[in-house]
A and B are shown apart, each in its own frame.
Chain A
Amino acid sequence: MTTSRLLTNQQRLELFYWMLLTRIFDETMVNLWKQGRGVGGTFSQRGHEAISVGAAYALGPEDVIAPMHRDLGAYLLRGLTPARVFGNLLGRADGVSRGRDANLHGMGDLRHNIIGFISHLPHSLPVALGAAMSFIYRNEPRVALTFTGDGASSAGLFHETLNMASLWNAPLIVIVENNQYAYSTPLHQQMKVPDIARRAEIYGMAGVTVDGNDVEAVYAAVHAAATRARGGSGPTLIEAKTMRMLGHAIHDGAEYVPKELLEYWEGRDPVKRYRQKLLDEGVADETELTEIAQRVEVEIADALAQAEASPLPDPATVEQGVYAGE
Chain B
Amino acid sequence: MKTAGALPFTDDPNMLQSPTDVARELTYIAAISEALREEMRRDPNVLLMGEDIAGEFGGAFKVTKGFEAEFGARRVINTPIAELGFVAAATGMALMGLRPVVEMQFADFISSAFDSIVQFAATTHYRWGGAVPWVIRAPADGGLRAGPFHSQNPEAWFVHTPGLKVVAPATPADAKGLLIAAIRDDNPVIYFESKPLYRSLKGHVPPGEYIVPLGKANLARVGADLSIITYGAMLHQALAAAERLAQEGVDAEVLDLRSLKPLDKEAILATARKTGKVLVVHAANKLAGVGAEVAALIAEEAFEWLDAPVQRMGGLDTPIPFSPPLEDAYRPNAEKIYAAARALAAY
Contact = CB atoms under 8 A, between A and B. Distances in A.
Given A123-B116, A126-B92, A130-B95, A163 B126 contact: no
A161 B133 CA distance: 21
B120 A120 contact: yes
A322 interface: yes
B92 A115 contact: yes
Contact of A123 (B82, B88, B93, B96): B88
Which has the most chain A C-beta neighbours within 10 Å: B85, B119, B187? B85
A128 B186 CA distance: 19
Contacts of A127: 88-89, 91-92, 95, 120
Interface string A102-132: 0001111110000110111001011111111
A100 B329 CA distance: 46
A64 B96 contact: yes
Contact of A126 (B85, B96, B125, B165): B85
B86 A164 contact: yes
A137 B120 contact: no
Given A131-B95, A322-B126, A137 B47 contact: yes
Contact of B119 (A118, A161, A167): A118
A29 B125 CA distance: 27
A157 B116 CA distance: 10
A298 to B, nearest CB: 28
Contacts of A163: 80, 82, 85
Nearest to A158: B85
B90 interface: yes
Contacts of B162: 322
Contacts of A164: 79-80, 82, 85-86, 89
A210 interface: no
B9 interface: no
Interface string B67-103: 0000000100001101011101111111111100000
B90 A130 contact: yes
A157 B131 CA distance: 23
Nearest to B129: A321
A263 B123 CA distance: 41
A64 B187 CA distance: 21
Given A110-B95, A118-B123, A134-B97, A96 B84 contact: no
A156 interface: yes
B120 A129 contact: no
Interface residues of A, number: 43
Contacts of B85: 126, 129, 157, 160-161, 163-164
A130 B92 contact: yes
A324 B82 contact: no
Given A100-B128, A130-B89, A134-B98, A123 B79 contact: no
Given A126-B116, A161-B85, A167-B80, A133 B128 contact: no
Contact of B133 (A119, A136, A160, A324): A324
A177 B49 CA distance: 31
Contacts of B130: 108, 110, 115-116
A100 to B, nearest CB: 5
Contact of A129 (B89, B127, B132, B165): B89
Contacts of B133: 324
A97 interface: yes
B124 A322 contact: no
Contacts of B93: 130-131, 133-134, 137
A126 B80 CA distance: 13
B163 interface: yes
A27 to B, nearest CB: 26
A130 B79 CA distance: 12
Contacts of A110: 95, 129-130
A101 interface: yes
B225 interface: no
A324 B187 contact: yes
B127 A97 contact: yes
Contacts of A282: none
Contacts of A105: 127
Contacts of B124: 108, 116
B89 A108 contact: no
Interface in B154-210: 162-163, 165, 185-187
A216 B165 CA distance: 46
Interface in A144-181: 144, 156-157, 160-161, 163-164, 167
B108 interface: no
Contacts of A125: 88
Contacts of A324: 125, 131-133, 186-187
Given A163-B80, A164-B85, 4 more contacts: A100-B127, A108-B127, A133-B93, A160-B86
Interface of A: 64, 96-97, 100-101, 105-110, 115-116, 118-120, 123, 125-137, 144, 156-157, 160-161, 163-164, 167, 321-325
7 contacts: A120-B119, A126-B116, A134-B92, A160-B84, A164-B82, A322-B126, A324-B132
Interface of B: 47, 74, 79-80, 82, 84-86, 88-98, 115-116, 119-120, 123-133, 162-163, 165, 185-187
